[in-house]
Amino acid sequence: MAKALELADTLTVVPSVPKAAQVTPPRPAGKQGREAIKHEPREPLQVRWPGEDVKAAKLAAIQLDFPTVSDFMLACFHAYMKTAKKDGE
């Protein structure tokens, strides 16, 4: 016959959380004018690019320490729009 467990002992033991299930706090943004990016609700945007350009954009986002490729592309768009306005004046 199975031995009865003491309920108090069972409830006091806290199982450890696996490393993969732990949540890491988000990194603070601090470089390249990413502070200017407003965190509003986002809309999906699909683009079709050649593979080498996709790889280059992903590498640039990593090298410039952007949290996502989306944030990098948005910063590029804003920079382009600023220069386009200056060139058009």
Return the closest-CA partner of residue 57 out of 71, 73, 44, 74. Answer: 73
Entry pTM: 0.51
Query: pLDDT truncated to tens, each residue of the chain (89 aa)?
Result: 777 766 666 667 667 777 777 777 766 655 555 555 566 787 888 889 999 999 999 999 999 999 999 999 999 999 999 988 777 66
> Which pLDDT score is estimated for 75?
93
In angstroms, the first-to-last Cα distance of the chain is 89
CB 51 within 8 A of CB 58: no
As a whole number of angstroms, the distance between CA 43 and CA 25 comes to: 24
Token output for 6: 């003491």
